[in-house]
Amino acid sequence: MKADPGNAAAVDAWAKDHPDAVAAWVKANPATPEPAAADLAVVFFDDWSATKPGTWPSLAEGPDGTPVKAVAPVQEGADIQSVFFEMWRQDHPDAALADVPADLVTTSASGLDPDITLENARYQLDRVAAAWAQDTKRDPVIMRKEIEGLLAEKSHAPLGGLWGVDMVNVLEVNLELRRRYGEPGHGSTT
């Protein structure tokens, strides 16, 4: 609330519409007779979660482009994630962001999807090779080259290469790694 005037404006607008909730807060906090938006943030979110469970507020923009009021609750997971990311990004505008393969952040978290892009597998290659090297007491550079070769061997493109990007079946790769090197001991699977 303190970092973003738009969020504070949304809470201020809510406070005008909920004088009883504000009065109850002031009664419980008599040392603050005129609470600021940051003071009422918890009350605002308590009310929001009670009246609109399972949603996250989005903000409408005023004439000057500043968010002014919580409206149209966001309900979808990706929408909620984008709201939290935007909040984090506003608090950390100078943080360096790394390019990552899209499927690393957009695919199902169920663990049931057997394929990832070859780009995704290569993105994780250093971590996986280091863990396998540690488990097997082998040279990490050699282990990386061997796993990279396995990824190339196991990669395939949809429709026999006529469409899409190269994919790797994670289950097949992990089974082959276990066949070659034994059971992992330190989270070395992809």
Least confidently predicted of 115-119, 129-133, 135-139, 163-167: 163-167
CA-to-CA distance for 165 and 86, rounded, in angstroms? 29
* Amino acid present at 169: N
Residue 129 CB neighbours (<10 A): 21
Helix (H, G, I), strand (E, B) or coil at 46: helix
The residue ranges of every structural domain in the chain are: 5-91, 102-181
Q: Which residue has the higher pLDDT, 66 or 7?
A: 7
When the pLDDT of each residue in the chain is averaged and rounded to a whole number, the result is 81
Compute the residue count for the chain.
190
Q: Which residue has the higher pLDDT, 128 or 102?
A: 128
CA-to-CA distance for 79 and 58, rounded, in angstroms? 10
Q: What is the pLDDT of residue 110?
A: 54
Residues 4 and 90: beta-carbon distance below 8 Å: yes
Does the reported pTM lie above 0.75?
no
* Amino acid present at 140: P
- Candidates 45, 34, 51; CA nearest to 11 is 45
Most confidently modeled range among 78-82, 98-102, 106-110: 98-102
Place of tokens 């040279």: 139
Percent of the chain with pLDDT over 70: 74
- Enumerate the β-bridge partners of residue 58: 71
DSSP state of 164: S
